[in-house]
Structures are given as C-alpha cells and as structure tokens.
Structure 1
Amino acid sequence: MKNLKINVTRLIIAALIFGLGGLSFLIYIRTRDVLNTNLETQISSLTLSSSAEVGLWLFAHKKELEVMANTPLIKSGDREVIISYINKEKERTKDYEQFFVANSIGEAFSDENQSVSAADRDYFKKVMSTGQSIISDPMISRGSNNPIIVIAAPIIKDNKVIGLVGGNIRLMDLNRIVTSKIVGEIGNAHLVQQDGLIITHPNPKLMLTYNPLNDNDAAPDLKIAVRKMTQGETGFTRFSVNNEAQYLAYVPVPGVQWSMGVTVPATYVTNQLRYLPISFIAVTVFFGFILAFFLNRWLVKPLTELEKYSTELNANLYKKADYYQLNSPVIEVKSLETNFRKMVVALQETFEEIENSKSNLKNEIKEKTMIQEDLKKSYEELWASEEELRCNFEKLQSKEKSLIESERRFRSLLENVKLVTGILDKSGRLIFVNDFALGLMGYEKEEVIGQSFINIFIPDALRGNAIRWFKECLNNKLITVKDYEPIQTKNGEIRYVAWNHTLLYDSEGNVTGVASIGKDITEFKIFQEKLEHMSFHDSLTDLYNRTYFEEKMRLLERGDSTPVGIIVCDVNGLKLVNDSLGHCAGDKLLRLTASLIKKSFREEDLIFRIGGDEFAIILPKSELLVVEHACNRIRKSVERYNLENEEFPLSLSMGFAVSEKTNVNLDEVFKEADDGMYRQKLHRSKSARSAIVYAMMKALEARDFITEGHADRLQNLVVSLGGAMSLSQRTLADLRLLAKFHDIGKVGIPDRILFKPGRLTEEEFKEMQRHSDIGHRIAQSAPDLLPIADFILRHHEWWNGQGYPLGLKEEEIPLECRILAIADAYDAMTNNRPYRKAMTQKQAFQELNDKKGIQFDPTLVPIFIRVIMGTNYHLYGT
C-alpha cells in the first residue's frame, strides 16, 4: 500500500505538471494568434490614418496653389507683381522650396526671378491638357538639385488654361510627414509610387533608389504586396528580409497615385510573449506542489490510516475476510470512514447483513464514481468556458484600446489642424468643434456644444437658405458645396469660410450628421474684392478706368439703353504742368478735374478716366438735349472754380455725341465725341498754356524768389551793363525780361530745397539744376517769353564749360546769358542769403576777378566793375 501511495502521488504530480504545461502551450498559441490578429488590425488602422493625414497634407497644399492660381495678381501677367506676390506666399507658408509661374508654352519664372522651362515636365503637360491641379511624382529640381515633388494648379482665364502656378516641396519634408512620431513607435512608414519605386523611407539611402519589383533577391511575398500597392489595393502581408520576419500593411494615399506601407518586425509580437512560457511553467510547478501537498494530506494519509485500521479489523474477523476487503482505493474518504466506524460498532451483529448489502454497496460505489466523473467533466467544461470568456474579454479590451487610440489620434488631428472644424448631428446641433474655430469665432466650447450651428454662426438673412441646404443634403445623401459661405462671430463680425463637407453614416448606412472642415478666407476675399475694385477703377481719381469703359460699351451695345450719349473731356496744359511743376502737381490737377466732373453728375452716372489727361462720361437713354445740358454743367463748374481760384486756372476741352436709337455702334459714337474734343483742343490749347504760364509768372512775382527785390535790382544791373556795351534797345528789352523771369523754372522746385537755410546736398543741388530746363519749357509755352526761352535754358553755363545743363563754353554761351551771370552773381553776393551774410562790394569784386575766365566772361567783368563803381550811389544809395 505504501508503494501504491508513492506511485499515485508521483503520478498525480506528473499529470498536473503535464496537464498544466499542455494548457500553457495552448494558451501561448492562442495568445500569439490573438496578438497577431490585433497587430494586423492596429497596423492597418495606423496605416489608414497615416495615409489620410498625408493625403490631407497634400490636399491642403494643392488647395493653396489653386487659390493662388485664381488670384487676379497671378492672372494679370505682370511679372514683377507676380514675383512680389509669390514671394510673400513663400514667406507665409514655409513649406515650399520654390514657387514658379509658367505660361501656356512652358516658359516660366521663379520667385527669384529666374527664367526656367517647364515644357518637358509631365506635370506641365497634364495640367495644360486636363485643366486640373496635379501633384507630381518625385523629380530632381533644376534649381537646387534636391529631390522634390511639384504641386501645380492651372491659371484659367475666360474658361481657357493660360498657364500654371507651381510649388516645389522638398522630398525630405514629405518624408518627415510620412515617417511621423506615431508610426515610429512600432515600425516605419514609406511611400511607393505607381511603378513600385520607394519615394520616402526612414532610411534615406532607399529613397528614389530602391524598387522591390526590380530586386531579384526581394521576398516573393514583398513583391506581391508591392505590386498590389501599385494597383491601389489595400492589404496586409508577412515577408522576410535578411532572415528577419516583417509585417506589412498598405493602403493607397488619397488624391495621388501613391501607396503608403507600414512595416513592423515580427519580433514586436514575440517580444511581448517572451516571458509568457516561463510564467506558465512557474505557475504550473507552483500549483503542482500545492495540489500534491493537499492530496497527500487529505487523501493519502487518511487512506493509509484506513488501511492500517482495516488490517487490524481483518485480523479479528479473518473468517470472513472476503467480505470486508476493499477492492478500489477511489472511494470517498468520508464515506469510507463513516462506514468503517459503523462496521466496528455493529460488525459482529450485522456481519451477515453486510454480506447481503455488499452488492448494494458496489452499486453505490459505481454510481458515486459516475457522479464524480460527471462532476469532473462539468468542472473541465466550466474551466474551458471560463478560459474562452477570459480570452474574449481580453480581445475586446484590446480592440477597445485600439478604438480609443484611433479616436484619440483623429480627435487630436481635428483639434490641432489650423482649419475651422466641426461635426453636426442630424438636427444641426454641434457635437464637436475644434479650438481653432472657437478662437476664430470668439466662443467658449460650453456656449456652442449642443446648440444649433445655423442659429449661432449663420447670419439672419442666410439662415433660411442654410436650413434648406442642410435638409436637402440629409435627404438626398449628397453634399452640394459652394465656393465659400459667410459666418458670424460672437461680436457680429462676418467672416468667409471655404467649406469641405462630408456626410457621416452609422453601421446600417443611415446618415447621422455632417462633418465639416473649412479654411478662413476672409482676408483673401477682402484682398480679392480690393483687386477687383482696382482692376476697374483708376488708382489716382478712383473713377472707372479704360478697361471698364470698353466693357461697359460692349454691354450697352447688347442691351436696351438707346440712345446712348458719350462726353469726352481733356485737360488742357497737363503736359506743361507735369514738365514744369512736376507730376505731383499734374496728379493734383487730374484729381481736381475728376472732382469737378463728378459734382456735375449724379452718383449713379458712369464717369471714366480713359487716358492720361482724358475723361469720358456715358449717359444711357439720353437724348441730345440731355447730353448738351450735361456739357454745360461741366463748363459752369470749371468757370466757377477759375473765378474762386485765380492762382491756377483749369481748362477743359470737350466733345460729345449721341447714338441712334437702332443699330448702336458705340465705338463710332466715341470716335465722334473724341474728334469733337480734339477740334476744340486745337483752338484752346495755346490759350490754356498761356494762362498757366502767366499764373506761374504771377506766382513768381508774388514770391520774389530767395530775396526781396532781387528781380528789380537785377534788371537795373543788366540794363546798365548792356548800355555800357552800346547794345540795341531790343537786346536791352530781352535782357530786362530775362532778368525778371530767368528763374521762372524754380516754380517747379520743392520749397524744402528752394528755401533751405543751409548748404544743399549733392542730390538737392541736382534737383535745383532742373529749374533751367523747367523754365525753358515754360517759356516755350508763352508767346511773351518765347524770345528768351533759350537764354533761360543757358543762363547757368560757365565760361570754361563746367556749367549746366549743356556744358557750353566761351563764345558758345549767348551774350545775354554771360551778362546775366555776372550781374546775378554780384547781386547774390552783396545781399543776405539764408545760409550766409552779404559780402562787401570789395569782396564781391575780388570774387568776380577770381572767377574771371572760369565762370565769367573775362572781357565783361572789368566793364561791369567800372559800371558799378560809376553808378554805385544811384543804384544802391550807399
């Protein structure tokens, strides 16, 4: 019996160890399968979200290029304006290595004003043939030799593709987006283009150099997966690289013909299971010894004592030993103990009863054995069910974690993206809005969540349309998108958002709401409206420009606005004002003219500036009499202005014409009015110039430039010198006129230079020198000053040729100019100036002698000194 006990104990321990060990192995296998399944789900989900993130990043950049291509600045064709604009965009975005603009034949220039050619590039051919925006495959930049991708958007004008706007993005920047931190936690991500070439990878050596389809040593499973990636399929596979197992999940990237792959080493699973067998073995051994201890205590020892007791009893009742032998050691300990106690008390009296009930006892033992077996099977089934439930629970927990993580990444993406992002349920209430939108609109999250988006953000006048649009989208399961929609901030400000809406569905395909992402384009829209205003208005007068004038004439020819009257006005003497007083004075004259014309018409009448000095007025549905009255209003406005402002006269030449009531040809009407204006201008231009010149002469006399009485003293000096030289009366008259108006050109010199108290700088002196040329042009426009026009131009020439503006010398300089130069210098030296005090007469004579043969005619200086010495008292009174 002792040997039997030892063998049974060892057998029980061995059975427990092997049983639990086998169970451990099965759990290991099941756990590994569950981890592999979860890993596939996790990698596939991660690949899908990463691909969507890359696609959204590329989509956002493509939209930026499309917005740029639609700006009037790009469509204007002005190279300098376009370069300035794309340089500002480059500084703003920071993602682009270079911007460039190409015309319809591929001639392009970059933001650095470098001329390049894009005609041989595939993306250029695709954009020009399809009129759609393109994201190119990687290529080498011709400017920087860096690997890049090009995003190109068509420039469309009058429904025709006239060129494209392109932006170069460094491939390393795209690689940084693809190999993000989240992917890097468990593996690496890469992009594959349509021919299988790897274009991004954590290992830069593989970028644009490795194509698994062309590698004979590549694993077959990898080649199959890459081939599926090039076909835009989604999947999951396992392959080996350098005897190392790898998992690969792949999905196409939205918006491009690329596919994203995420690889994870198989060791990621085995590392998680590394300590699982050891743990199970330790647990198995531990429970084996515990069970052995309790079996020895609760089963083996009682049976041993029962065996000893039975032996003693058997010795006393040996006669009938067959009746009380134990045939099986599996009887329950308590039952055996109870039965044997009863047998000790009444064995002698009931020996025969025991013999009779022996068969009954055997049946009972069998029945209990069967019950015990049933209980053991039930326990095993319950244990197996418990294990299955536990595995299912762990699987659900793992899936729940994956879903939570996926939701966290998606919510983080929506929270951090710099776009207006929100989600609405079927009733139009907000269930999500990101911080960027809240900051833009001025709300706190508690104020908007659960509230109607339309009631909060849509202006009152547009709410009806917005409600109808929302209901139609839900009912038709189709989103209709407009270019932009206005929304209202908390403080009542209207902002404009370009939306991208997506319907949300439940598992049964029912619409549950709408997810919306939008870009705030308020500043862009304001800028665009400003550009539109500038494109049809003159920047100086804010009247309509020539472009809108021609467009309006085309529209009126097709409409029912006959008869149409046209008035053409031209500012007389504008060139003279620009040449003499500068373009600032000319611009002021043009603005004054525009103001007077506008005051003569109603606010809704169409007034245009169609040329430098030319204005036009279109009067639809106006008879000849109405047009004549309009011309009279303009003339009266000019006359009133000239009466109230005598210092500078305004003169306009006008012509007008009226179309017939049928067969309207406004080009002929305009030509007739323009011809009438020019006929009037031929009669009035000379008198207008004379009036302007005499206004300048009057202004010169009133100001008496530099010093008081200078012109009068100078006339006396030149006449005295000319008389001493026996010059004719006509020459003396020209000298007197030259002395009075030789500096008339100074009316065109700014006062800051003309009356500067100190010495002039080099630039200021060059500006001052212009007064000779300005005075020459003024004198040519006035009949009274025409005889001295050339003298005014040359009165600052020096005897040695170092004067200005022509560099004449000696006898090339007119005599009148040589006389004036000596007299003007003497008067300037003997009178106070803002920058110095007057010299004595002696000092002035010495200065004239020093400059004799340099600045002044050497034969005239002695004559001038003798004249002054002889007439000094009479001229100056000292």
Structure 2
Amino acid sequence: MSESLNKNYTRDSIIGLGEESFKKNYYPELLQKITMLEKLQNRNDTLINAMRDILFIYDAKTQIKPFSSTRIESHSLMSPILANAEAMENLKMGAEQALKHASYEITFTVEDKEKLVHLEARFNKTQSDEVIIIVRDISDIVELQKTHSSLLNLDPISKLYNRRWFDSKINEFTKVTAKHMALFILEVTGLQFIKTTLGQIHSEQLIVLAGEIISVFFSENTTVARISFESFAVIIEDISEMETEALAKNFETFMAKHNNSTNTKNVLISYGYAHHSEGIINMETMFVNANSFLHLSTLTQYERAKRFYLKRFLKTIEHKISNREASKECKKVLVNEFSRLLNLTSYKRKKLHQLSRLYDIGEIGLPEHIFQKKESLSEMEWSIVRSHTMIGEKLLTEFPEYKGLANFVLYHHENWDGSGYPYGLFKEAIPLESRIIRIIDSIVAMAHDLPYRKKIACEQLIKELKKGAGK
C-alpha cells in the first residue's frame, strides 16, 4: 500500500491503470485525445498571449481574475486595472449585467504611469454561468474621435471655431437663465471686393489676418468663431452692459491704431453687438440685434473699404521697391519731361502723374516669393507676372475716379512692334498714355537695383533705350 502511495504517477501510468477494466484498443484513442487537448490548450495559451486585449473571467464565486496567469506580467495594463478599485467595481458591475442579459459593454479609464488610459470592456456569459471579460485599450480611438470632433468644429481657413460650433453654442445658451452676456458680430468690410479683384487666396489671407486680430483683442473670457465668408462672432460671458460699450469703443481705438501703424497688414473690420442683462437668454434675438447694429454700420462702408484697401495696396507695393523715394521722384521728373516734350495738356499731365503711381497696382495680386527671387524668373513665373496688368485694370474699374486709367494700366506692357502683353497690340492701337508709362517704367527699372540685377549706368541705359526704339 505504501509502495503504491509513493509511486510517481505519469500520464502513461494513469492510462495503464485501466488495463483491467477497458479493452487495450481504447488506449491509443484516449492517448490521441489527450494529446489533442494539450495541443488545443497550448494554442489557446499562445493565442491569449498574442492578443492585445486583456482577458478576465468572472466565476461563480463572483470573483474577477485574469483568464490566464501568464497574462498578469505580459500585459502592461493588467496590474493597473487589478490595482484600481473603481475599475474592478466597474468590471464586476458589467459582469453581473452580462449574467442577466448574456452580454454587456462599458467604457472606463485607469491611470498608468501618470497617463489616463481609455478602456472598453465587453462581457459575454458562458454556458457554465461564468463571464468572459475582454478589455481593450481604446485610447487611440478616443483621441482620433476628439481630433475628428475638433476638425468638425474648426474653420479650415482661420483655424477658429466654425458656424457649426457657433450654432451649438447658441442652442446651449438659449433659454438658459443667466446674467450679463454679450454677443459681437464682426465683418471684414470689403472682403468681397478683395475676392473679386485679387482672388480667393488674397481674400483668405485677409480672413486669417482678421481672425488673428479679433482673437488677440477679445482674448479674455471669450470664444471666437468664423460664422460666414466675411463674418466672425464673439460670445462674452460675465460682462456688464457698460463694459460691453467700453469694449466696443476700445475695439475701434485698437483697430485705428493697428491700421495707422507702419505695418502694411491692415484690415477694415466693422462690428455690431447685443447685450443680455438678466433672465432667460434668447441668443437668436441677440444675434438678430447684433446683426442689425452691424448692418447699420456697414451701409456706407463699402466705398470706404475699397479706398482703404487701395491705399493699403499702394503702400504694400511701395514697400517692395528698394529706393522707393528715388523711384517716385524719378517718375515725377519723367512725367513732367514727357508732358513738356509732347505738349500735353495740364489735365493729361495730372492723369499721367496718377498713372505713374498706379500702373503697377496689379502686382498686389502676385505671390510674394516672385518679388524676393534673386535668380531669373521661370517661364511659369513670368506668366504670373504678366497677369498684373489685368489685375490692375480690374482693380481700378472699381473706382469711378480711376476708371479712366484702367485701360492705360491694362496696356502699359504692350510694345510698338506687337511683342508685348497681354494682347500684343501694335503701334497706335496702344494708347499714348500706356506707351509713355511703358518707357518710364523701363527707365525706372534700369536706373534702380532689382532683386535679380543691379542698376545700369546712365550711358548703358541710353543705349538700351535706343536699342528698343521702334519695338
């Protein structure tokens, strides 16, 4: 008896115990099944260890434990979950729900190395009334959802909140009892003019600039959104009516100071506002009132805006020219000399002086890098440069007092022999004023340094003019 107790039983010896009770031909089959079960167990262990998910089991004793003991060390989140009482309570609650409903899902968070980890747990009841719990790290998905949500609420141009977000805020505040709230609606006056004359890119640059200015000024306790092509909205909480009025006046002062600075990045912004003092907020009414205020202030602003931007364009163009004062003086002298030689009337002389300042206004629509380039321009870049005559003509037709100069600007790069642009006009088909400006422009260009070449000597300049005669 003692001998049998001390015997070390192996799998083969256990199978051998049945020799007296079972037929010997069952042994190979039994051995095969045991081997198969072992293989399946090994496969399951390997599969479990390879999974990114964390597995728990909720047993009949209402205990939650790792599905496999080897997983406790192999998965970095296993220990933080087991050590987190709230997380374990959440898992227990989910398991109890799964026992009632066969399956269940929850999300929860745990701290791991001072980082918040978002987890999803799925519970499935087994036939033996246990619950398999599959826990998955969904932090990347949560971050992706946040990013997606953020993108849905952001304006792609200004990088501020968009109309979708603004409407949600209106719904959030509507019918809420609160005190002291202000709503400002601000408009980039003349933005449509910029888009029509210079194109989408320049209008978007102005939108970005306006958004930056508005965000800087309305920086405290506010949220800023771009709500239409040319409009922004600012919601300000906890602000009295008197403070709102003062803020509006300060904004006017702020904008005047900004636009009167030497900075060429000027923009004209009109505004309207509404204030809620107390009681139930009606954001829609506030929006209508602020818009009405804005509309009144912009009724006479469009023409002012056009002149404002024309002045800004001229200042920007002048800033691109090295020795600009010398260039201006040179043009003035040349206009007077041509007027004298051609016996032009004082009216035409006056128009020529205006034209000498405006003929390259279309360059405002050209990319900045072209002005900075020191190497020769490519053919593509030259085609872009040639477009400035048409841009200039389009700009000046917006102004009654300059409309008569628009054609002269359009044709000021036409050549006598038809080799010019944009239309290749010949001889007298080119207006006299355009021909004069063509020569003046050439002289000024040769007499002053340019990014891609130095000025030429006076003798060489005269040779170049004679060489180009009749062309």
C-alpha distance after superposition, 1:537-581 (max 9, x if no partner): 223333321122223323433433478653211122334555677
- 1:646 Cα shift? 4.9
Query: Aligned-pair distance for 1:411?
Result: 3.0
Report what 1:737 is aligned to: 354
2:91 equivalent to 1:480: no
Aligned counterpart for 2:421 among listed residues 768, 784, 804: 804
Q: Is the 8 A contact 2:95 2:123 kept in 1?
A: no
Q: Flag structure 2 segments of 5+ consecutive residues without an equivalent.
A: 1-17
Deviation track 1:66-118 (CA, whole Å, cap 9, x = no partner) reads xxxxxxxxxxxxxxxxxxxxxxxxxxxxxxxxxxxxxxxxxxxxxxxxxxxxx
Alpha-carbon distance, 1:703 to partner: 4.3
Please tell me whether residue 540 in structure 1 is matched to residue 168 in structure 2: no
Mark the CA change 1:821 to 1:593 in structure 2 (over 3 Å): closer, same or farther. Answer: closer
Residue 82 (structure 2) aligns with: 454
Deviation at 1:798, TM superposition (A): 3.1
1:422 to 55, 59, 73: 55
User: 1:45-194 maps to which residues of 2 (within 5 A)?
Assistant: none
Mapped pair 1:653 → 2:270: yes
Does 514-523 or 536-545 show the bigger shift? 514-523
**Contact 1:421-1:434 within 8 A present in 2 as well:** no
User: C-alpha separation between the residues in 1 aligned to 2:81 and 2:174?
Assistant: 47
| Residue number in structure 2 paired with 1:432 | 68
1:273-298 per-position Cα deviation (integer Å, ceiling 9, x unaligned):
xxxxxxxxxxxxxxxxxxxxxxxxxx
Matched-pair contact (CA < 8 Å) for 2:99–2:129: no
Instruction: Call closer, same or farther: CA 1:464–1:605 in 2, change over 3 Å.
Output: farther
- Structure 1 position 843 matched with structure 2 position 467: no
Match 2:432 to one of 815, 829, 832: 815
**CA apart distance, 1:764:** 0.8
Aligned residue identity for 1:500: R
CA distance in 2, matches of 1:810, 1:804: 13
Q: Assess if the C-alpha contact under 8 Å between 1:706 and 1:755 holds in 2.
A: no
Task: Assess, with a 3 A threshold, how the Cα gap between structure 1 residues 814 and 598 changes in structure 2: closer, same or farther.
Answer: same
Match of 2:143 among 526, 543, 552: 526
Deviation at 1:613, TM superposition (A): 1.9
CA distance in 2, matches of 1:416, 1:467: 22
State the one-letter code of the partner of 2:105: V
Matched residue SS, 1:481: strand
Q: 1:517 to 1:802 in 2, by over 3 A?
A: farther
Q: Does 1:463 align with 2:87?
A: yes
Give, as a single letter, the amino acid of the residue that structure 1 aligns with 2:442.
A
Partners of 1:690 and 1:783 within 8 A in 2: no
Sequence identity (%): 20
Distance 1:395 1:766 in 2: 87
Judge conservation of contact 2:53–2:134 (CA < 8 Å) in 1: yes
Please report how far the alpha carbon of residue 696 of structure 1 lies from its aligned counterpart in structure 2 after TM superposition.
3.4
1-structure distance, mates of 2:428, 2:69: 89
Write the distance in 2 (CA, Å) between the matches of 1:616 and 1:625: 20
Distance 1:473 1:733 in 2: 90
Shift of 1:653: 1.2
Alpha-carbon distance between aligned partners in 1 of 2:403 and 2:253, rounded to the nearest angstrom: 32
Q: Which piece of structure 1 moves more, 731-740 or 819-828?
A: 819-828
Q: Cα gap change, 1:617/1:474 in structure 2, threshold over 3 Å: closer, same or farther?
A: closer
| 2:187 matched residue in structure 1 | 570
1:787 Cα deviation after fit: 4.7
What is the CA–CA distance in structure 2 between the aligned matches of 1:837 and 1:639, rounded to whole Å? 39
- What's 2:251 paired with? 634
- For 1:804 and 1:841, how far apart are their aligned partners in 2? 23
Equivalent position of 2:329 in the other structure: 712
What is the CA RMSD across the aligned residues, in angstroms? 4.0
Match of 1:615 among 232, 239, 251: 232
For 1:405 and 1:668, how far apart are their aligned partners in 2?
73
Matches within 5 A, 1:779-794: 779-780=396-397, 785=402, 787-794=404-411
CA 1:492–1:691: 2 relative to 1, 3 Å: same
Question: Quick one: distance in 2 between partners of 1:422 and 1:556?
Answer: 45
The residue number in structure 2 matching 1:399 is 33
State the alpha-carbon separation in 1 of the partners of residues 19 and 271 from structure 2: 105
Match of 2:45 in 1: 411
Q: CA deviation at 1:465?
A: 4.7
Please state how far the C-alpha of 1:654 moved relative to its aligned partner.
1.4
What is the distance in 1 between the residues matched to 2:386 and 2:217?
42
State the AA in 2 paired with 1:400: I
Instruction: Indicate if the aligned counterparts of 1:658 and 1:669 stay in contact, CA closer than 8 A.
Output: yes
TM-score by length of 2: 0.78
Q: Distance in 1 between matches of 2:157 and 2:19?
A: 89
Whether the aligned pair in 1 keeps the contact of 2:323 and 2:448 (CA below 8 Å) is no
Larger gyration radius, structure 1 or structure 2: 1
Separation (CA, whole Å) in 1 of partners of 2:316 and 2:432? 28
Q: Secondary structure at the match of 2:148?
A: helix
Q: What is the CA distance between 1:761 and its match in structure 2?
A: 0.4
- Greater relative contact order: 1 or 2 (C-alpha under 8 angstroms, separation 6 or more)? 2
In structure 2, what residue type is equivalent to 1:401?
T
CA distance change for structure 1 residues 386 and 492 in 2, over 3 Å: closer, same or farther?
Answer: same
1:730 CA drift (Å): 0.9
Residues 413-442 of structure 1: CA deviation (Å, up to 9, x unaligned): 33445x41423454333242788x977x54
Deviates more, 1:802-811 or 1:539-548: 802-811
Secondary structure of 2:300's aligned partner: helix
Inter-partner Cα distance in structure 2 for 1:627 and 1:832: 52
CA distance in 1, matches of 2:390, 2:158: 29
Query: Which residue of structure 1 lines up, in the alignment, with residue 11 of structure 2?
Result: none
Q: Give the conservation status (yes or no) of the 8 Å contact 2:122–2:133.
A: yes
Q: TM-score, normalization: structure 1?
A: 0.45
1:219-250 deviations in Å (ceiling 9; x for gaps): xxxxxxxxxxxxxxxxxxxxxxxxxxxxxxxx
Cα contact 2:64–2:92 (8 A) shared by 1: no
Aligned ranges for residues 820-835 of structure 1 at < 5 Å? Answer: 820-829=437-446, 834-835=452-453
Matched positions, count: 448
CA shift at 1:481, angstroms?
Answer: 0.6
Task: Quote the Cα distance in structure 2 between the aligned partners of 1:433 and 1:497.
Answer: 21
Asked whether the 8 Å contact 1:423–1:516 carries over to 2, the reply is yes
In 2, distance between residues paired with 1:688 and 1:655?
17
AA aligned to 1:423 is F
Q: Is the 8 A contact 1:487 1:496 kept in 2?
A: yes
1:763 CA drift (Å): 1.2
In the alignment, the residues of structure 1 paired with residue 57 and residue 166 of structure 2 have an alpha-carbon distance, to the nearest angstrom, of 48
Equivalent position amino acid for 1:761 in 2: S
Is 1:761 the equivalent of 2:378? yes
CA distance in 2, matches of 1:416, 1:605: 50
SS where residue 840 of structure 1 aligns? Answer: helix
Report Cα offsets for 1:338-387 as digits up to 9, x if no partner.
xxxxxxxxxxxxxxxxxxxxxxxxxxxxxxxxxxxxxxxxxxxxxx9726
State the SS of the aligned residue for 2:352: helix
Q: What secondary structure sits across from 1:698 in the alignment? A: helix
Determine the C-alpha separation between the residues in 2 that align with 1:845 and 1:475: 97
CA deviations over 1:39-72 (Å, ceiling 9, x no partner) = xxxxxxxxxxxxxxxxxxxxxxxxxxxxxxxxxx
Q: Does the 8 Å CA contact 2:396/2:403 hold for their aligned counterparts? A: yes
The alpha-carbon deviation at position 728 of structure 1 amounts to 0.6
Change (3 A) 1:610 1:801: farther
Q: Take 2:181 and 2:361, find their aligned partners in 1: how far apart are those partners?
A: 46
Query: 2:68 aligns to what SS in structure 1?
Result: strand
SS in 2 for 1:611: coil
